[in-house]
Amino acid sequence: MKPLVVMKFGGTSVQDDVAIDRTASIVRGRVERGLQPIVVVSAMARVTDQLLAAAAAAGRGDRNGALAITGRLRNRHLETAGRLVTSSPASSQIHHAIDAEFVALDEILRGLAAVGELTPRISDMVVSYGERISSRIVTAAFADRGLDAAHIDARQCIVTDAQYGRAIPQDEHIEQRLHEHVLPLARQAKVCVMGGFIGSTLQGATTTLGRGGSDFTAALVGGGLEADAIEIWTDVNGIMTADPRVCPDALRVKSISFEEAAELAYFGAKVLHPATILPAVKKNIPVLVLNSHNPANEGTRITAVAPHCRSPFKSIAVKKRLTIIDVVAGRMLMSHGYLKAVFEIFDKHKCAVDMVSTSEVSVSLTVDSNERLPEIAADLSQIADVKYEGKKALVCLVGEDIRGHNGIAGRVFSAVRHVNLRMISQGASEINMSFMIEEDDVEEALRSLHAEFFADPDPEIFDVTEAAKSVAGS
Ligand code: ADP
Ligand code: ASP
Ligand code: MG
């Protein structure tokens, strides 16, 4: 069989007919190069948010509000499909397929509004329609453009546990299902198209892998089928030295290690979902991040070992909307077992902690979800004085070459000397340095750090040409 390449297209790469048309050309390009693509698509841009809003409205009993959202989504999907698929009978087939999905979705929302209680299971069921429908439209568009495309319902292959909203994939089942449902079609040179993000339990309940999870699906498919490469097609030229939306001078990073990419993803670089990296690392499959708006660009290659870089950092990630919780032990001081008691409270509320710093009498922790904050604070106040402050941001500088450099901390802190820093930490992995600041200071801090560390970029690692500075689509 030809070399397998898993190609994942994010929301902006399938956001309308123009984007889907471009996606079809990119896939055709791979076929013409003698590769066998398997395509994973996200929901069209912003659809997941809108479906979540519809579910929330129905959960509050606002039936009409929910149906108004799906009415608009229905029109958007039908119009996009109508512009993409013009031949008959394909155009009426896709129209009916989309219609049937929306009829089923509206039925769920009506039931939900009647019951008035949104469970994580129903939420996953509702939100799954984004990828279910986008993958159908993309398959029909590919077929209309002469590609031998076959639609796969991702829920047949991506078997997960029942942790709705953040389900854990079951690798062995996935591998077996992919071999059963996808590989035979790929062997017949069919271009399989499936939705990312969604899965199903062994009992058949629909699940999702967490926000941004289509990257994860691509890695699961690539890992399960031992693909030759995984391509993450998005709206920027690759992994950049900073989010180009915040830092217009950001440069493309040509090559980065798995470990660095995972660290960046974890600390907020939205371009790649943190969990993406694992299935690919295990099988040593190269991952490329590419721009569907600018397919000629080489993108970023993520490999097991990154080449040496002259500068200490490869990129700076920022995670906003964090809350710092200060837990002050008061007269108890930090006795034996105290930290355990603190962490048990976070564990009880299933709240992940991003960063921790301790002093003799206090512990500061950061969390990215405010959902359970009042309950957590109430429990903590049984053993300590508690304060929490929102609107904080974590800035994280990542690079394997921090190791060989002295005096890095001094350079970092002098670059951001005008900004009030809190909770400074050098990660145990020794490839990141991070600190917390006010959200309002993010732009200034990022610009100063970028100027300090990327003014003289290593041309082996960074794209120093002028073109690299342009953000997607421009
Ligand atoms: P997709 O819908 O294709 O999955 P995402 O919106 O999830 O795309 O991720 C792409 C976005 O990630 C970019 O538009 C960019 O604003 C953001 N981003 C954040 N940090 C970085 C970074 N270091 N390099 C590139 N993009 C980044
Ligand atoms: N559509 C999902 C989301 O918006 C998954 C993804 O796009 O990766 O989170
Ligand atoms: Mg994404």
3-state secondary structure the chain: CCCEEEEEECHHHHCCHHHHHHHHHHHHHHHHCCCEEEEEECCCCCHHHHHHHHHHHHHCCCHHHHHHHHHHHHHHHHHHHHHHCCCCCHHHHHHHHHHHHHHHHHHHHHHHHHHCCCCHHHHHHHHCHHHHHHHHHHHHHHHHCCCCEEEECHHHHCEECCCCCCCCECHHHHHHHHHHHCHHHHHCCCEEEEECCEEECCCCCEEECCCCCHHHHHHHHHHHCCCCEEEEEECCCCCECCCCCCCCCCCEECEEEHHHHHHHHHCCCCCCCHHHHHHHHHHCCCEEEEECCCCCCCCEEEECCCCCCCCCCCEEEEEEEEEEEEEECHHHCCCCCHHHHHHHHHHHCCCCEEEEEECCCEEEEEECCCCCHHHHHHHHCCCCEEEEEEEEEEEEEECHHHCCCCCHHHHHHHHCCCCCCEEEEECCCCCEEEEEEEHHHHHHHHHHHHHHHHCCCCCCCECCCHHHHCCCCC
Task: Tell me, in angstroms, the distance from the centre of ligand 1 to residue 74's CA.
Answer: 27
Question: Would 423 be classed as within a structural domain?
Answer: yes
Residues with CB under 6 A from ligand 1: 10-13, 42, 212, 234-236, 239-240, 242-243, 245, 269-271, 315
Query: Which residue lies with its CA nearest to atom 5 of ligand 1?
Result: 271
Instruction: Indicate if 221 and 96 belong to the same structural domain.
Output: yes
Instruction: Indicate if 456 and 334 belong to the same structural domain.
Output: yes
Q: CA distances (Å), 309 to each of 239, 341, 470, in order?
A: 16, 42, 23
Instruction: Indicate if 213 and 84 belong to the same structural domain.
Output: yes
Residues at Cβ < 5 Å from ligand 3 ion: 10, 212
The number of the ligand 1 atom at minimal distance from the alpha carbon of 214 is 4
Question: Would 271 be classed as within a structural domain?
Answer: no
Instruction: Indicate if 324 and 222 belong to the same structural domain.
Output: no
**Of 208, 235, 262, which residue constitutes the final position of a domain?**
235
The pLDDT confidence band at residue 38, using thresholds 50, 70 and 90, is: very high
Ligand (nearest to CA of 218): 2
**At residue 435, does pLDDT exceed 60?**
yes
The number of the ligand 2 atom at minimal distance from the alpha carbon of 213 is 8
The number of the ligand 1 atom at minimal distance from the alpha carbon of 315 is 23
Question: Would 278 be classed as within a structural domain?
Answer: no
Instruction: Indicate if 192 and 319 belong to the same structural domain.
Output: no
Instruction: Indicate if 167 and 22 belong to the same structural domain.
Output: yes
Question: Would 145 be classed as within a structural domain?
Answer: yes
pLDDT tens, 367-413?
A: 987 778 889 999 998 888 898 889 999 999 999 888 777 788 889 99
**At residue 151, does pLDDT exceed 50?**
yes
Residues with CB under 6 A from ligand 2: 10-11, 42-43, 48, 130, 196-197, 211-215
The number of the ligand 1 atom at minimal distance from the alpha carbon of 234 is 3
Ligand (nearest to CA of 166): 2
The CATH number of residue 382's host domain is 3.30.2130.10
Task: Tell me, in angstroms, the distance from the centre of ligand 2 to residue 52's CA.
Answer: 11
pTM of the model: 0.90
Instruction: Indicate if 171 and 53 belong to the same structural domain.
Output: yes
Task: Tell me, in angstroms, the distance from the centre of ligand 2 to residue 47's CA.
Answer: 9
Instruction: Indicate if 34 and 158 belong to the same structural domain.
Output: yes
pLDDT of res. 405: 76
Instruction: Indicate if 151 and 48 belong to the same structural domain.
Output: yes
pLDDT of res. 425: 80
Question: Would 308 be classed as within a structural domain?
Answer: no
Instruction: Indicate if 224 and 358 belong to the same structural domain.
Output: no
pLDDT of res. 468: 47
**At residue 128, does pLDDT exceed 80?**
yes
Question: Would 246 be classed as within a structural domain?
Answer: no
**Of 193, 209, 235, which residue constitutes the final position of a domain?**
235
Instruction: Indicate if 173 and 80 belong to the same structural domain.
Output: yes
Question: Would 293 be classed as within a structural domain?
Answer: no
Instruction: Indicate if 14 and 139 belong to the same structural domain.
Output: yes
**At residue 150, does pLDDT exceed 90?**
yes
**Of 216, 235, 254, which residue constitutes the final position of a domain?**
235
pLDDT tens, 233-254?
A: 999 999 999 999 989 899 999 9
Q: To test the ligand 2 pocket, which listed residue (13, 42, 134) has its Cβ within 8 A of the most ligand atoms?
A: 42
The total of structural domains in the chain comes to: 2
Domain limits for position 158: 4-235
The CATH number of residue 77's host domain is 3.40.1160.10
Ligand (nearest to CA of 289): 1
Question: Would 280 be classed as within a structural domain?
Answer: no
**At residue 430, does pLDDT exceed 70?**
yes
**At residue 133, does pLDDT exceed 50?**
yes
